[in-house]
Structure 1
Amino acid sequence: MGRIIIEYLEGQKIYACKKCNVHLSKSNYLFSKQFTGTSGTAFLFDKGVNYLTGKPEEKRLRTGLHTTQNIICIKCQTYLGWKYLYAYEQSEKYKEGKIILEKLFLSKIKWN
């Protein structure tokens, strides 16, 4: 196995993996808190770091058919959510390239 390179995010209000505290995204990358994942509340982010993606698969979600990839933590391999690759409905195209991180698997770092 190769060497894992972990990126640390600068500034305040960092979202991290609840299990290993590796940085995943920042509050200013947060697009919406109005999403639901497999475990409940989920957040949509414009971008994130320190995750691996699974193979693309088509999923029928509440908002229609999408091509997604599961996201797991690069350090501890915990499931975190998914990445939107393609949205079949025109009204859902804004999700393409964005990631869902499920609240249950997140912790907050540097929230003063």
Structure 2
Amino acid sequence: MNLPVLDVLSGKIRRIDGAYEAQRVGIEFDGDVHRTGRSVWREDEKRRDGLAASGWLLRRMTGADLVHPDEFLTRLHRSCTERGVPVPPVGSWRGRVLLEGAMDYSGRMAR
């Protein structure tokens, strides 16, 4: 979590929310709460471009992905497989509680 990584474009140290460091696959938890304007959005885009130029493959997760995670998990699975991260088969997460507070497939809050 919060892995420090050198952005080769800017020379800055950036942090990746969740990462498979050896394979350079990152998970970014993306939300609108921290965005206060266009300049913040532009800086986020520069950060992502710098990390990509440094060899990182990033997958962004939003709040909607917590409610209906299949699309995000499928994208993440593909990225992990491409980079050699050992992952369970697609679909093995179905019916399991993913995170406390997330909605399960029946619409109930997980505990």
TM-score (norm 2): 0.24
Decide which structure has greater strand share: 1
TM-score under structure 1 normalisation?
A: 0.24
The structure whose residues are more often helix, as a share, is 2
